[in-house]
A and B are shown apart, each in its own frame.
Chain A
Amino acid sequence: MNWIVTENNKKINALDIPAVSIEEIKSDIENMKMRVVGFFGKQEYENVRLYVVMADDKIGKLYVTSTIFTPNMKSYESFTQKFPAFHIFEREFYEEFGIEPLNHPWLKPVRINQDKYPFFEMQGEDIHQVAVGPIHAGVIEPGHFRFMCLGEKVYDLEIMLGYQHRGVEELFLKNKRYNNRLAESVCGDSVIAYNMAYSQAMEALSGTEITSKAQIIRRVALEMERIAIHIGDMGAIAGDMAYLMGASIFGITRTLVINTMLEISGSRFGRGLINVGGVNFDIDDKMSDKIIEMLDGVAKTVDRTTKVMLKTPSCISRMERTGCVSAENAKALGAVGMAARSSGVDIDTRFDFNDKWYTSLDVVKPFKATGDVHSRFMLRYKEIKQSMQIVKKLLAKLKEFKSEAIKVTPNNMLAPNSFVISMTEGWRGEVVHIALTGANGELLRYKMKDPSFNNWYMLAMAVRNNGVSDFPLCNKSFNLSYCGNDL
């Protein structure tokens, strides 16, 4: 058996992970028809060990294998030629360990060495280049965009990131204690998702069983984060279309949600709420009623504003058929999360990976997939509604566990030689944390993957053949993370 089968948040023995040849992995991947969620290296003395993690969304299982590159193996035949979804993973692996994927069609820097970035260029009298960033006009993160335009039409967009590379993965290894404050600072708009993924990974490794109450509170927070950011994004989409009413009303509404988060945890974005071993703040009956009351109010406003927007011809005309990504392209590129769902790729780790708090809730999956800005707008609206239902059901369930504690003291020792994959569906998509411990239970490798890592190329595809003035709208409809990609 070339692969070891595991589940989300399940600890496996790292020594059990098979080490096979890269050709075998490649032929297996061809037969498996699964999705890549992890493809990263680890230095083992003079060798580099490459771990490959594939996910089967239909049955909610993860498959892990590895291969070893000895110092004289400096290259391998790239996976990307056959499976485009690997392109960014192989680039990252090459950048970190210098092992070259041969015949990779797009072997460019991911995070470092941007000064040597080889831009794709087109020749021609009417072609003009537009360079945007890294410093942008709005208060957003840095990233460089290079457009190849013919008049107003974009032929190609190349996205160069890495300005926010902080070496976060290494920082996790330096800290001996649990470091939730670091985890929630990786990506400021997915505080809960990152912190939850980190905590779950650490709990799995240390064998800490947290209470049902804490589980529920975490998920309430996760859904509230989704609601808040989705509403904010809908407002931002309206703002980019110069639809003032939508921008301001969604903006006001988002504040109501994050202010409730402030009441729960003392931070509008839920910083400090989650710790390894549980949560730091309780949601009592009074708070629970408050949340439901707030959500009802928010639902009304969101419904009304969305309805008005979808009745405004100028809004519809601006959103429809702008920035289309077909389901085939999204699937081939390995897109994940909300952006993939809006193109018709139905993956959602909340429901696919047997999270008992979600699958037991019997909520309909929202779906509307035309792959354009309109679809991403509609999907957000539907996910907000869905998340509101989930929060209400979770809060009702919370009452059953009233007597439980919100946190337990976690075991301070991590299990030695263990490997765990922790996936959390943040609002943008799956946040994957993979942790690997050594013989003394010390962290040897901490690997994170933000959904943006998969999805940035999808944005480049979406902008093709659109007007260059539609780029901001496309960009906002994805709202991908720079720091989550740069780490």
Chain B
Amino acid sequence: MISLLINILILLFVPFLMIGVIKKTKAFWAGRKGVSIMQPLWDFLRLMKKDSVISETTSWVFKFAPVAGFASILFAALFVPLVAGKPIFNIPFAFVVFSYILGFGKFFSLIAALDTGSSFEGMGASREACFSTIVEPAFFIGMASIAALSQNYTFESLRLILKNAGTYGYLIIALLAVTLFIMLLIECCRVPVDDPTTHLELTMIHEVMILDNSGADLGLITWGSAIKMFLFEALIANLILPVSLHGWMALAAFLAVVFILAVIVGTVESSMARFRMTHVFEFIFIMSITALIILALVTYRMYGG
């Protein structure tokens, strides 16, 4: 019970701190002092106090989308293992459920963007849809491979790689971590795929889709996307942390991984330019390739010599 409560608290509030850490890291590299790590939380609370301005040209879809998006992310979170290693709904093929529940929210955010009738938002929606389409197969190949390896089709398979694959396991873990990290950069719209801080509508992907949102709607969206990023970090944490950790140690290690990943994201954002839109595909294909290598390794381990 306590572990469940802790997990819920972590799920709801650590994402703000994680975004704060990314901002702090970027400020550090830029030679600035930066805002407080708590600032994303204060921003969220400020937004929640505000009314939303809703364009007259939009329909119910536009009002529904932020809620649908947030609800789908929270629902998807129930299938993801956090600290204790076991998600609340520990069902087989959770990675498929996870993907498509997130997809449900994304679908609504896409049509809400189209609903506004803005040419920017249409472009953003088409970019987001395009990138997600290519990311999905890579994610499935990677996750299905390790599930097949351990014959455990729940997310627990993340923690069973070493047990089943022996020394190959380290390689698989490394490759899967890279796959998930790239997926995080794409799905959560970080540099080098998207620039979350830009003001240039023509170059945006995710940000442009929410240009028309304001107030509490925008607050929900920012909270949701922070949680979404946190979920990917949780997957990576479960993948790389030793299975033997228990109790407070596990909690500390989990949080450490989350914040270290946030620092890495911030460092990546500070040290490279974002790709030209047409080059993003090449970047996504790196993820597909690592996923295919995992598949090859697993096949070799299971059926090979």
Contact = CB atoms under 8 A, between A and B. Distances in A.
A240 B270 CA distance: 13
Interface in A144-188: 152
Contacts of A472: 200, 202-203
A134 interface: no
A137 B200 CA distance: 7
B199 A138 contact: yes
Interface string A106-148: 0000000000000000000000111110000110000000000
Interface string B232-243: 000000000000
A322 B200 CA distance: 17
Most buried by A among B122, B191, B273, B279: B273
Interface stretch (B27-35, B49-57, B73-81): B27-35
A129 B120 CA distance: 10
A387 B54 CA distance: 51
A312 B273 contact: yes
Contact of A314 (B30, B122, B201, B275): B275
A85 interface: no
B201 A132 contact: yes
Contacts, number: 84
Contact of B198 (A130, A242, A314, A471): A242
A242 B274 contact: yes
Contacts of A240: 198, 200, 203
Given A138-B200, A152-B277, A472-B202, A244 B119 contact: no
B273 A243 contact: yes
A132 B120 CA distance: 9
Given A129-B119, A132-B202, A242-B269, A467 B274 contact: no
B31 A469 contact: no
B145 to A, nearest CB: 30
Contacts of B191: 242
A148 to B, nearest CB: 11
Contacts of B199: 137-138
B97 to A, nearest CB: 33
Given A130-B202, A244-B269, A248-B32, A314 B123 contact: no
B195 interface: yes
Contacts of B276: 317-318, 322, 467, 469-470
Contacts of A318: 273-276
A119 to B, nearest CB: 14
A249 B270 CA distance: 12
A238 interface: yes
Interface string B195-212: 101111111000000000
Contacts of B202: 130, 132, 468-469, 471-472
A467 B278 contact: yes
A245 B123 contact: no
Contacts of A245: 29-30, 270-271
B192 interface: yes
A248 B30 contact: yes
Interface string A86-106: 000000000000000000000
A318 B280 CA distance: 12
Nearest to A322: B276
A252 interface: yes
Interface size band for B = 20 to 34
Q: Which of B29, B200, B272, B275 has the most CB of A within 10 A?
A: B200
Contacts of A248: 30-32
A315 interface: yes
A242 B26 CA distance: 12
Interface in A446-487: 467-472
Contacts of A315: 272-273
Interface in B95-131: 119-120, 122-123
B277 A312 contact: no
B123 A252 contact: no
A399 to B, nearest CB: 36
A317 B30 contact: no
Nearest to A145: B202
Interface string A223-248: 00000000000000010111111011
A129 B29 CA distance: 39
Given A138-B199, A152-B278, A317-B279, A130 B273 contact: no
Contacts of A468: 123, 202
Contact of B203 (A129, A131, A322, A469): A469
B29 to A, nearest CB: 6
A467 B271 CA distance: 24
B272 A314 contact: yes
Contact of A137 (B201, B270, B275): B201
Contacts of A128: 119, 122
Contact of B273 (A138, A152, A238, A470): A238
Nearest to A149: B123
Contacts of B269: 242, 244
Contacts of A247: 30
A251 B14 CA distance: 33
A241 B274 CA distance: 6
A469 B199 CA distance: 12
Nearest to A476: B200
Contacts of A312: 271-273
A152 B30 CA distance: 31
Contacts of A322: 276
A132 B198 CA distance: 16
A443 B99 CA distance: 73
Contacts of B26: 244
A469 B273 contact: no
Contacts of B273: 238, 241-243, 312, 314-315, 317-318
A249 B272 CA distance: 14
Contacts of B30: 244-245, 247-249
B117 to A, nearest CB: 12
A305 to B, nearest CB: 11
A241 B271 CA distance: 11
B120 A130 contact: yes
Q: Kindly name the residue among A130, A252, A317 whose own CB sees the greatest number of chain B CB atoms within 10 A.
A: A130
Interface in A249-290: 249, 252
A132 B200 CA distance: 10
B54 to A, nearest CB: 20
Contacts of A241: 273-274
Contacts of B201: 132, 137
Given A131-B119, A242-B273, 19 more contacts: A130-B119, A132-B201, A137-B199, A152-B123, A152-B278, A240-B198, A243-B272, A244-B26, A245-B30, A247-B30, A248-B30, A248-B31, A252-B31, A312-B271, A314-B275, A315-B273, A318-B273, A322-B276, A469-B203
Interface of B: 26, 29-32, 119-120, 122-123, 191-192, 195, 197-203, 269-279
15 contacts: A130-B202, A152-B277, A241-B273, A244-B30, A245-B271, A249-B30, A252-B31, A312-B272, A314-B192, A317-B275, A318-B273, A318-B275, A318-B276, A467-B278, A468-B123
Give the top 3 A-B pairs by smallest Cβ distance, nearest first. Answer: A248-B30, A242-B195, A241-B273
